[in-house]
Chains A and B, each alone.
Chain A
Amino acid sequence: MAENKSDQLELKFVLNGKAIHVNAAANLRLVDLLRKDLGLTGTKEGCAVGECGACTVLLNGKAVNSCLVPAGQVQGCEVMTIEGLATDGKLHPLQQSFLDHGAVQCGFCTPGMLLSAYALLQVNASPSVEEIKEALAGNLCRCTGYKQIIDAVRQAAG
């Protein structure tokens, strides 16, 4: 299954629940593949060095910084971006809760925050405030002061 070495990649992976097959340059990062090649601009690039979490996506269910994943590493994986959170146009409870709690100001951190929160709730349905903070520690927000975000996650957890 090793590709022949090449500066082009043929990638087959599952994106937001659908199997896709794309060709891409080998020097792309996942964030570039998503935003530029696939037009999914919900994933943001904040720092390019894995410190801000704005680029967070789920890779095989786990939150990762897509600015640190070379595109070739998604081969055979499942990727979930913010565009995959709402289903059939209906907001996920987390998204609704963020709106209800005023947890979105400029919105730049929001896609990453939602996906980190979503990943948390998949493994821990009733997280404590401390657990929420730890799960979101890699997502920086310059606007809200975090309180609304934490409240929103707590409520969505129910």
Chain B
Amino acid sequence: MIPKIQFVRPKDIAQTVALLAEHGSAARLLAGGTDVVPGIQQESARFSGIEILLDILNVEELQGIKLENDQLVVGAAVSLADFAANPLVREFFPVAAKAASWVGSLQIRNRATLTGNFVNNAPCADTVPPLLVYDAHIAVRNVQGERLVKLEEFLVNPYHTQLKADELVTRIILQLPKPNMRGDFYKLGRRRGVAISRISLALLADISQGRVQQMRIASGAVTPIGKRFRAIEAAAAGKKADAALFKELARQMGREIIEMSGLRWSTPYKLPVVQQSFYQLLESVCSNKEA
């Protein structure tokens, strides 16, 4: 299958970071394997020079989803399938559950991890927009210790994060949103299932008395990496949640995307589709929410 490779199963986080420190970029973490294995198979530049696979899928400290003090703590090795099916995720973080449930196929979701989806930071990573609107933080560990990083800062450029060769993400932390935050996730792909996103959108909104109290908006696959649209969020705050506002926000999104990505071959298609999809998402999330 792949060039001579060694396969090691560290027993815990401590042993994992020690091995990463020892081997640096010759070692690669292996969890679900759904990016690493085809990457090596296809001789992708992002997966070259790997001599040792560190299988962390069953490391006990990386498992589980629990609610602790208003925070959902998700172990780094939790699969997309388990994440999407988890009752706490479905109740409190439905936008993330929906996105996770639409990644790939069931076979992929049974192995691929939530962490793997954002840590490779493909422009189209589906879990990124929801994690951004939920203001996710992650815990990153190396031999020196652990730090907490805001996911938005951790994601740097396409396929590039702050993660160094000797580091491991150990958990994802999501603060419980306010109870009146409602939201949805939209994904457009070439087909309904097993499709790479061409456009994805995540929206959370707190509407009361017909006005926007707070809005959080993120997109995927339309800018170099998934991102929040804070200027649009600020523009929406306090405004009457009606069709005129939604239209203006959608126009603004179009302008921002062009500013960031420039005119691309896909723009004549993607631009009106993003705007219209965003408009429809705003309509469906924000209407019928009179206090």
Interface set of A (CB-CB < 8 Å, partner B):
1-3, 5-7, 9, 26-29, 32, 48-51, 53, 56, 59, 62-65, 67-73, 75, 116, 133-135, 137-139
Contact = CB atoms under 8 A, between A and B. Distances in A.
Interface in B55-79: 55, 57
B33 A63 contact: no
Contacts of B8: 2-3, 5
A103 to B, nearest CB: 19
Nearest to A6: B6
A68 B37 contact: yes
B41 A49 contact: yes
Contact of A75 (B9, B32, B41, B81): B9
A9 B1 contact: no
Given A62-B110, A137-B106, A5 B1 contact: no
Contact of B1 (A27, A64, A138, A139): A27
A63 B110 contact: yes
A27 B8 CA distance: 12
28 contacts: A2-B15, A3-B7, A3-B8, A7-B4, A7-B5, A26-B6, A27-B2, A27-B5, A29-B1, A29-B37, A64-B107, A64-B111, A65-B107, A68-B32, A68-B34, A68-B111, A69-B111, A70-B33, A70-B37, A70-B53, A71-B7, A72-B55, A73-B30, A73-B55, A134-B193, A138-B104, A138-B105, A138-B108
Q: 3 nearest interchain CB pairs?
A: A138-B105, A137-B193, A72-B7
Contacts, number: 113
Interface residues of B, number: 35
Given A27-B2, A70-B37, A50 B104 contact: yes
Contacts of B41: 48-49
